[in-house]
Structure formats: C-alpha cells, structure tokens
Structure 1
Amino acid sequence: MEPSRQHFLVRFGTFEFSLQSGEVRRAGVRIRVQQQPLKLLEVLLEHPGELVTREELRSRVWPTESFGDADQAVNIAIAKLRSALGDSAENPRYIETLPRRGYRFIADVSFVDGDGRRRTPELASTDASAESEIGYQHNGNGVAVLPISEPSPQLQSAELSVPPRTRRPPTSRVLIALAAALSLTMLAVLFFLSRYHKPAVIRSLAVLPLENLSGDAAQNYFSDGMTDELITDLAQISALRVISRTSTMGYKGSHKSLPQIARELNVDAVVEGSVVRAGDHIRITAQLIDASTDKHIWSQSYESELRDTLALQDRVARAIAEQIQISLTPREKVELTSATVVNPQAYESYLKGRYFWSKRTAEGLEAALHYFNQAIAEDPNDARAYSGLADTYALLGDWQYAVMTPKEAYPKAKAAAFKAVNLDNTLGEAHNSLAFVLDGFDWNFDSSGKQFQQAIELNPGYATAHHWFAWHLALLGQYDQAIAEMNKARSLDPLSLIINSDLAELLVLSHSYDKAIEQSHKTIDLDPNFAMAHNQLGQAYLQKHMSDQAIEELQKAVELSGGSPTCIANLARAYSLSGKRNEAIKLLNDLKGSSTARYSYASEIAAIYVSLGNVDEAMNWLEKGYLERFNPGVLIRPAFDPIRSEPRFQHLVQRVGLPG
C-alpha cells in the first residue's frame, strides 16, 4: 500500500519538512517556525516553481481575516519564514517575491517515503481522499527525498525508485524524453530572448508604491515616502514623463496586472520594488519592467543609513535613467549626484508630514502641520520641511478645508515658502509653494508667474506646478494656454480627481460647454462620489440652460460635499434661473445664517444675488470678500458674467489686478 501524502518528508536545500508532524529541520536540528509561517510554507511547497498569489495565501492561511489584516499578515509571515530559513528577499534561495502578484518557491523540491525512496509527483499524492492534495512537481534535478524519521546519511544518496506499476512502455518513455528535451530547448531559447530582450523606447513610466517589508504597518509612511522621493527624483528628468503619486498610490494593494496598470496610466514602463527598514538602516529593492511585455529589464538592491537616503534615491534614479538610455541635461546630472546628508530625525518627521498632507483632509493637514514644524525644530535648515509647511498652510486657508481664514493662513504660508526658497533655491516645490501664495493672497501675478515658471523648469514632472500654473493663466484670461497646462498636469497625474475636475471647470470658463460636460463625465467615471465633478457638470449644464439636469447634478454635489458653500451657491443659482426663486432664497438665507466673523462666504452669497437680479447686494458682498482677501479666481466664475459690464465690478477687477 502506497503511503499517503502526510507520510512524506519534503526536502529543499539543507532543510527537511515533515508533512505529518509539521516540523522543519536543518541538518537534523529542529528549526522553530511559528504556525502561520509554517502553514504558508506548506502552501508554497504544494506548487514549487509556480506563482502562488497573495490572494491564495490569504484564503488558505487567513480565511476569516479582513482583507487589510490578512494582507499585512502575509507580509509578516513571509518575513518570519525567510528569517527562519536564512533567506533574503533581495537574493532569494527559497522564496522569490513577484511584486504585486505573490511568491514562488524556487529551490529544488522533492520528497521521500518511509522506505527512503524518492517519489514522483503522482506517488507523493496518493491519498486521494485528502482534502487538499499536494501536486508537487519533480524537476529532475537530483534532489534527495527523505523519509519520516530522523535523517539518515544513507538517504542522502537514495536513488529514484518508481514501482513497476507506474513504468511506461519504452516507446512512451522515449517520446516523453524527446518531448522533455524539446521543452527544455524551447525554455532555453525563451530565457535567452527574455534575458536579452530589448524593450521599446521608454519615455514614460510609473513608480508603483514600494512595498513595506518591515513587518510593521506603522512604517507605511516610510515606504510611501520613499516612493514619493523616487518619483520626485525621476520627475526632474525633462525627457521622461513620470506619473505623479496621486495616480500611482491608487494601485497600492491592487492585484491588477502590470500591463493593465501601464495601459491605464499610459506609460511605457513600470518601476516596482520594496523597502525594508531596521532602525536607521534601509534597503531599497527596485526593478524596471517593460510594460508591453511584462518582462524585467533591470533590478537592483541598495542599502544605506537613513542619513544618506537622498543619495540612495538618486542612485536608483540614475540607474533607471541609464537602463532606459535617456539623455540627461547637465543640470539634471548635477541634481542626481548632489544629494546632501539629512538629519535622520528631521527627515522622518518630514516624511510623516508629507504622508498626512497627502491625505488632503482637515485632520490630515493638522497632523502634517505638527510634523513639518517638528522637522524644522529638529533641523532649522531643512528647506523641504519649510516647503511642506507652506503647502499645508496654503491648503488650511483654502475654501475646501477652511480650517483657517486666508488672513491667518496665507501670510504663514508665504513666510514658510520664502524661507524654503532662501534655504534651497533649486527646490522646485518651494518655488511652486511661493507662487501659489503670491497668486491667491498677494495678487502679485507678475511675480507668481515667474515663480511658477521657475518651479516647472526645476521640476518639469511636478504635476501640482502645472496644475496651479494653469489657474494662474486662467486668471489672466489665457484660457487656451491654461487648458494646455492643465492637460500637462493630467498627463502626469491621470487619475487625479481634482485635476480632471478642474480641467472641466476651465472648459466651462472658456465657454466650451460640451467639452466640459464630456470631461466631467470622465471624472465621474473615475469616482462617482467626487462632489466637484458633479459641481462642474452642473455648471456646464447651467450655462447651456439645461436647468433640470443642472439642478440634479448640483443637488448631488451638495450632498456628496457635505454642504460645500460653493456647491450650495451654484444650486441656488440653478433654482433661481429655472424660476424656483423661493428655493434659491432659502439657500441664500441658509448661507447668510451660517456666515461667521471667520467665514462669511461672501463670494458665494454674491453669486446668488446676481442670479436673483440684485446687483447692489451682489457688489456689497463682493466688497466684503475683497476685504477678507478672497481668492481672485472667484471673479472669473461664470456666475458673475451678467455683471461684468457694471462699473463697480470692473473697478473691483482692476483693484485686484486682473485684466478687464
């Protein structure tokens, strides 16, 4: 009677794994492995040489856990299993990581029955009643298979013995041997072709979120920060289009194939990898993949102390540039070789600040404010921390978050931006931060334009710079150029909801209403619950006198935004222009009632008065907004088109400094 699967020992390298007792031994000595990593090892050994997806591991080992918890458990269990086996993710002998897909057991694997005989795959799985039958593959590489007992030297040289009942006629064996030889030849050819495969010209790429392999979910901010740093470095290369973090972070934890991701982001290549941090020591593994063929072009691991992390990121970026054979300008070469040593504590605080800032919530911005200030306290000469602080204050004073009034927030944002520029005049993000404040608060459009251009020159791949510069051009009435600049921002950050939505708004401002409707629908396809996409669609319908459709979309915008004053004002305008005056007046009174000394919603209230035909009240509220230092962009909104010829309105536009 043939032994069941459970009565075999599996051997790989110098290890033995008993399927019956669940023990792992190395050279006869038992190795302590925790239960979950042990179960994970068993699943991997069921399919040696094959991809085992993360989903399969989750369902087999953690079937009752939630997705996020089980996903993290896989990372931790793999790390523990590698530690027990003395394996390495960077130079694996046993477990190979296939990023974003799963793992593969790459060592030679075979097993032995109780008589010390090597077994073929089918004989190793003779227990047909087993609930999960192991389908081991024998790879013919002469691996020894051991019985369930204490290891024996004699078993090291045990020969493969196939019982007579499994022997095939000689002709069959010859045919199988020929087929095997042919298969090996084809595999060799395919390997050669893949090894020396020359990818198409690469002019665009996406850096997918680097995987946190530290076994600590609290370190996610660090792996995300490393992803941002690599994107920032690569984005400085003017000949290369690099997708921004907003779009790539959406693929964190995604199980989409790399070719599919590349198609969605419209890129030629993808960079993926991992980060391991132990104290102040970090290791980054990165690989470059040809998106069209899903073939590896290059991979490398880098190690350094945290203080040298900027130089480490530059090394990775330079290596990628060399692999895709892209030309660097003299300035770009200098930028990628002139990284400074950082204060580890300050740098860690900076990464935490950017992590929370990127959440774009009021709570996240307040946390970011804390960490950027902490970074500055730890290193008063950290220009990047001042730039982050400027961006945080700018958003805290923006109407979307309204945590601070513009008068409170923007002077602090301006001071921080100036400090960043003075500390490092080559930091494109700092110039962009300064330009934003000069535009929106100082109304110094000449200076802000120069700062935007300098920001883009220093960092041509920075989507936010193109995004905010587009609005600067719109303020000056240069709508064609503004739309072109917004399209550049979208090409760098194709999944950014706010960029896609703002493109639709620019199309409304340029009177391209049909295009605005089309663009708004594209944004809604990305996220049906994004309020501003419905707001822009409602405005476009309103300009086309499609009142019913406008009201429907603007009602959605108000609901999804949680009562945004801008969305409420547009809905009130739609009611008024469709003859529902009472509904409009009710919303007007609601806004006036919710006004405070800090936030009067002056420009929104003025817009509703325009729709009601009360020009005097509209101008009174606009004057109030002027004193509160409203964003000058309110004056180019279509809501004020009916009063553009009014002398008081024209005089207000002149005082702000916008073209008449």
Structure 2
Amino acid sequence: MIYEFSDLTLDLDRHLLTRDGQPVKLTKLSFRVLQALIQAAPALLSHDDLIDQVWGPKRVITPDNLSQRMKTLRQSLGDDPNQPTYIEGVRGEGYRLVPEVRIQSALTSSHSPRQALSSRLLVSLAVLALALGYIAFDKFVLDPVEDGQLAQSARQEGHSAALTESIGDKSIAVLPFVNMSDDAGNEYFSDGLSEELLNLLARIPELKVAARTSSFSFKDKDFEVTEIASRLKVAHVLEGSVRKQGNQLRITAQLIQADNGYHLWSETYNRKLDNVFQIQEDIAIAVVDALKVTLLSEIPEIRKTDPAAYQLFLEGQYLKRRISKDSLDRAVEAFKQAVEIDPAYVPAWAELADTYIWGGRTEGLTRKEAVVLADQAIETAISTDPDYAFAYYVRGISWIFTKHEFKQGIEDFQHALRLDPDDAFIVAAIGKGAFLTGKFDLAISQYQMALAMEPVVPEFYWFLGRTYLSSGRLDDAEASFRKLLSLSPSSYGKHDLWKPLLLKGELEAALAESDTSFVRAIVHHALGNAAEADEALADLIENASPYSLAMVYGYRGDVNKTFEWLDYMLENSDDYPTWILTETAFRSIHSDPRWEPFLEKLGLLEFWLEMTPNW
C-alpha cells in the first residue's frame, strides 16, 4: 500500500518514505508512528491508541517517552510543532495528520534484493561497536507471556504455521559462529564475525533480528535450532563456523528454517583475511535473497578501518566482556593498538574510554589517571564524529560514575538517545540516570522499554529490580531479581534478592538467599539473634568498607552509627557509591536533621528535594 500526503509518499511494502522521490530517513519506531497517524487520518489518534498500535497494549510508555518519539519524527520530517505542516498535537488528547491522504496501489520494485544491497554496501571494513557492548539492541520483540504461550501451543499441536505467523517469516537470529581454528585464541574473531553479520542484518528495516545478547546466550549450549528459534521468537536461524589460519579464512554459513529444520541456503567461503568484509556482504546478500526481502533504498553507512585495527577492535570487545581485571587490562591494550593504527577509528576510541572507566588500565596507572585518559579518548571520539551516539553514552557514564556530576551525565544520555533512539542500552541509560536521582517512575518505564527491545540483558533486570526496591514495589523487585538469576545464576542478582525478602518480613527466606557476614549482621538482628548478629558485625568491622558498615547500621536502625560511618567514608575518600540517594538501607536516617546537609556535601540535595515525600 502507498500513501501520498503533502510532498511525502509512504510505501508500506518497501518500508520507505520519500519526499519528491528522495528517501527520508526514519527509525523503525518513527515509521510505525507515522503509519499509525496516516491510517487514522483525518481523525485524531489518542495517546493511548497510538501507544497500543505502535508499542502494543501491554507496553508501559510514559507521556515523556511519547513526546520524545514524536519530536524525533517531526525532526525527520522537518515539521514545526508550533506551525505544523504534517503532525498536529492536541494537548492532553493526542495527534492527527494535517494533510489529506491519498492511497495508491503498491508498485513492484524493479531491483532485486541483491542489487539493492550491493549498490549500497561499501565493500570495505566494517566495525562492530554498534553491535557490541552496551549498545547491542533487539530489532524484534513480542510480549513474552502471550507469545510464549502461542509458541508452546504451536509446538504441542504441531502447528508450526501458527508460530511463523505470530513472529513473522522475515525474522532471524544470528548464532555465534563456531571457532574451528586450531588456535582457541581465535574465538574472538569467530564471535566478532557473527556479531558483525548480526549488526549488518539488523540495519535492514524489513528484517526482524534477535539481539546479540539474546542470540549469544545460546553459545556453547546444547539446544536444537528449532528450540532456539522458539525461545528467541524468530522464524530463521543463521549459524556457521570459522577457521582462521594465518591470513587464510574458511567460513561456512547456513540459513535454517526453524519450523522444519530445512536448510534454505548454505555456502563455504575460502578467502584471505583482507576479504572478510566482502564475505560478510555476500552472506548478508544471500540471506536477503533467501528470505525474499525487498530492501529500503538506503543502507546505513559502514565505517572503514585498517584490517589490523579491525582485528584488534574485535579482540578488545571480546576481552572487555569477560569483565575480569586481567581481561579489562588486555582490552585496553587492544583498543590502544587499534587507534594507534587508525587514529580516526571512532568506535575504538569510545570503547577504550569505556574500558578505562570500568577498571581497565595499563601497569602503574592509577584510577584517577585512567579517568583522565578515558575523558581524552571520549573527546577524541566526539570531535572526530559528533554524531556517534555511543561516545555520548560513555561520556555520560563518566560524568556520573567517576565525577558524580549527574546532570551532565543525564544530558549526555539524552543527547545519545536523540542520535540513536532505537538503542536499548541508551534507552536504559535514561532509566539509569532517573534511578540514581530518585525519579523512580521514569526509571521503571525506561527499563521496561529497554527490556521490550532487548529482553535478556541481566543488567536491565538488576537496575529494574533496584528501582522497584527503592520505590517500595517489593514483589516486583523480587520477581526482577529472580528473573536476573534465571538468566545469569552467577550475576550480582544473588547479592540483592535477600533485600525485598527482608523488607517484606520474610527473614528466614532472606537469610537462606545469602549467608554472608553482611546479610547475617542485618537479618539476625531483625530476628532478635543478638549473638549471631554481633559476631557477623565484628567480622565486618575488621574487613568491610565504611559504606558497607553504614548500610548495616542503617538496616539495623542505628542512626548515629550510620552517620558515623558515612562521615568516615567521606573523610577518607573522594568517591562514594552513586546510588546512595536511593539506597533502602538509609531510609532509617531520612528524617534525621543530618541527612540533608550530608546530601548537600555530595551534590545530591537538589534531587532529594524533588523526590516524592513518602521516600
């Protein structure tokens, strides 16, 4: 179906908006919003109806989020909200399309998917930064409960068509390619190639691509392809293997139809390492051909770099995700070498900064020195490419977690979101800033949106659980932490599940979840077991940080001791945990006259005064 309105044409079949024959770039969500407004025209579309049509009836979208999405769409159209040409907003009610809409029949494209993709993909070097780390994002999400039930019904009854219909036959997951090299150390390359393919396919609007975090959660797991596809809610799976020996590559890829396990396409490529990006392009073209996808007229730009810098970048990403002190240090070295080879390689500068912030450094480098180097790397990235969203995200992280400058950090998160509104990790960053400054409703909404885009990121469930905990939604907090543990049993969720149980009065259950001295000192005190509580406390006084001791005394209701250890923390360190404002342990001291002066020292008083009175 083709709709014409004013000087614009919207082609639903080609997922394309044009002005006078030239493409107008829209994000996926902006396209859906515009489609909903066009199909409702000339009627007013209420806020609720718009949210239901674009995000689905079970998604929680705040007015601020809807307003931001509309602002993004208007900017893409070149529309002025004060004198609208295309979209008129009616305060408190909704939105309507201003121009008259004319309907045409859809035209058949004269270009094959191969021609469309080949003409726009640069046969050059691609980067992995937008698919890795914090900014991996899911292009395809359905309601987990409803669609899980549908998938189960389809499997039980053998109705594979029902599953395909619910998830769409243009959906795909890219599984991590198996490293078949003699050197196990080449695993970074096979993982990186898989992620680069995922990133490339995810940028084709007509394809629904499961996110990296979701797909890679099945790495080294013994699941049938049909089961993986069902869990990821996709109709197809791309898998393969990589053998790398010196400068020679042997890459095998195969596209599988999930409902019956049939191979739709497979190919083996024997090339030199310098041709790795041509292989990626060939595989992407083959997938598009096999799925009979009609492409947009514009393919996102692919960054170029030196092949050696690209390999070091992939290695750095691989090491960074392992999150050990040694791997972070090695990731720093890999990223440094990458930017030495190509000083204009923006993704490597941004990743280098992010790795410095989270503890990676070279030998002899202090924490403060690492932060200075992180800031320098961020500024290099931004000055080289002012439109690179991830660099602003990293700078926001630096403002908040290394300098405790919350406003500046939140401003950078917001700028990153304007540049890339479909990035789940940046959506979550807005929630992170909101949580740390006591705006719990906004934080919950943002993390729910992020999880709708990227449903299996442990970090999202942890922050959502922490926000529920701070806002008093204890059952929801417990559910979030349990979901986190089901996704990642060794994650930090095991350190927090006891908290909602404690606050709900389920003391034995809280103790059963964590048997550390920290928890024993708190829970045994609540149980009235003074000897056990004091024994655990004595151990903490010998070994724990001042902040941990302040938390223990806060939960135990000892106001003076709580302030004593908080003051000691500030006297002996310039640093403090960023979530001190929202820590439930300190609710016992909120009414004390020393609380607000303490927050003023930390630069948090203004946020405290904006929080709801019941906190």
TM-score range, shorter chain: 0.5 to 0.7
Which residue of the partner structure matches residue 508 of structure 2?
548
Q: How does 1:560-571 map to 2 (within 5 A)?
A: 569-571=518-520
The Cα of 1:449 is off from its aligned counterpart by 2.6
Retained in 1: the 8 A contact 2:178–2:190? yes
Q: Deviations over 1:494-545 (max 9, x none)?
A: 4444433333222212211112223333333345x42532322201101112
Whole-Å separation in 2 of the counterparts to 1:354 and 1:218: 14
Paired residue secondary structure (1:206): strand
Among candidates 341, 344, 353, match of residue 316 of structure 2: 353
* Aligned residue runs from structure 1 range 550-629, under 5 A: 550-555=510-515, 558=516, 569-594=518-543, 601-626=545-570, 627-629=573-575
Mapping 1:157-172, distance limit 5 Å: none
Residue of structure 1 in register with 2:357 after alignment: 394
Map 1:408-419 to 2 at 5 A. 409-419=370-380
- Of 589, 601, 613 in structure 2, the residue corresponding to residue 643 of structure 1 is 589
Contact kept in structure 2, 1:238 and 1:460, CA below 8 Å: no
Shift of 1:246: 3.7
After TM superposition, the score normalised by the length of structure 1 is 0.58
Distance 1:306 1:428, change over 3 A: farther
Picking from 277, 281, 293, the partner of 2:244 is 277
Query: What TM-score, normalized by structure 2, do the two folds share?
Result: 0.62
Which of 359, 374, 377 does residue 337 from structure 2 map onto?
A: 374
What SS does the corresponding residue of 1:289 show, helix, strand or coil? strand
Q: Deviations over 1:140-189 (max 9, x none)?
A: xxxxxxxxxxxxxxxxxxxxxxxxxxxxxxxxxxxxxxxxxxxxxxxxxx
1:386 corresponds to which letter in structure 2? W
Q: Give the aligned residue type for 1:381.
A: A
Q: Which moved more, 1:214-223 or 1:571-580?
A: 571-580
- Find the aligned partners of 1:454 and 1:204 in 2 and give their Cα distance: 30
How far apart are the structure 2 equivalents of 1:434 and 1:569? 33
What is residue 413 of structure 2 aligned with on the other side? 452
CA contact (8 A) 1:603 1:634 kept: no
Report if the CA contact (8 A) 2:253-2:267 is conserved.
yes
Q: 1:603 to 1:383 in 2, by over 3 A?
A: same
Aligned to 2:194: 227
Aligned-residue offset at 1:612:
3.6
Please say which structure displays the higher CA radius of gyration.
1
The residue correspondences of 1:233-272 to structure 2 (distance < 5 A) are 233-236=200-203, 242-272=209-239
Q: Residues of 2 paired with 1:422 and 1:303: CA distance?
A: 39
Point out the more displaced range, 601-610 or 636-645.
601-610
CA drift of 1:493 comes to 4.6
Instruction: Quote the Cα distance in structure 1 between the aligned partners of 2:565 and 2:207.
Output: 47
Cα pair 1:238 1:461 within 8 Å, conserved: no
Q: Offset at 1:371?
A: 1.9
Q: Secondary structure at the match of 1:255?
A: coil
Give the corresponding residue for 1:659.
607
Deviates more, 1:640-649 or 1:200-209: 200-209
- Aligned to 1:647, the other structure's residue is in SS state coil
User: What is the DSSP-based 3-state SS (H/G/I as helix, E as strand, rest coil) of the residue aligned with 1:542?
Assistant: helix
**Amino acid corresponding to residue 365 of structure 1 in structure 2:** L
CA shift in 2, pair 1:509/1:241, >3 Å: farther
Cα-Cα RMSD: 3.7
User: Contact 1:407–1:628 (CA<8 Å) still a contact in 2?
Assistant: no
Separation (CA, whole Å) in 2 of partners of 1:286 and 1:476: 47
1:524 aligns with one of 461, 482, 485: 485
Structure showing greater relative contact order (alpha-carbon pairs closer than 8 Å, 6 or more residues apart)? 2
**What is the one-letter code of the residue matched to 1:368?**
A
Secondary structure at 2:431's aligned position in 1?
A: helix
Q: Calculate percent identity across the aligned residue pairs.
A: 29
Residue segments in structure 1 that go unaligned for 5+ positions in a row: 1-193, 559-567, 596-600
Give the alignment partner of residue 437 of structure 2, picking from 476, 489, 492. Answer: 476
SS of equivalent to 1:360: coil
Q: Tell me the residue number matched to 1:339.
A: 303
Equivalent residue, structure 2, for 1:502:
463
2:577 counterpart (626, 631, 635): 631
Shift of residue 283, structure 1, vs aligned partner = 5.5
Change (3 A) 1:217 1:391: same
CA 266–574 in structure 1, closer or farther in 2 if over 3 Å, else same: farther
**CA distance in 1: counterparts of 2:295 and 2:431, whole angstroms:** 27
CA distance in structure 2 between the aligned counterparts of 1:266 and 1:356, rounded to whole angstroms: 29
3-state SS in 2 of match to 1:608: helix
Structure 1 residue 220: Cα displacement:
1.3
> How far does residue 474 in structure 1 lie from its aligned partner after superposition?
1.1
Rounded Cα–Cα distance in structure 1 between residues aligned with 2:220 and 2:507 = 42
Does the CA-based 8 Å contact 1:573-1:607 persist in structure 2? no
Question: Residue deviations 1:2-39, cap 9 Å, x none?
Answer: xxxxxxxxxxxxxxxxxxxxxxxxxxxxxxxxxxxxxx
Which position in structure 1 is the counterpart of 2:12? none
d(CA) in 1 for partners of 2:188, 2:504 = 46
Q: Amino acid of the residue matched to residue 509 of structure 2?
A: Q
CA distance in 1, matches of 2:422, 2:267: 24
Distance in 2 separating the partners of 1:315 and 1:588: 62
Q: Distance between the aligned counterparts of 1:516 and 1:394, measured in 2?
A: 28
For the structure 1 residues 520 and 198, does the alpha-carbon distance in structure 2 shift closer, same or farther, using more than 3 Å as the test?
closer
Distance 1:547 1:249 in 2: 37
Change (3 A) 1:254 1:397: closer
C-alpha distance in 2 between matches for 1:252 and 1:350: 21
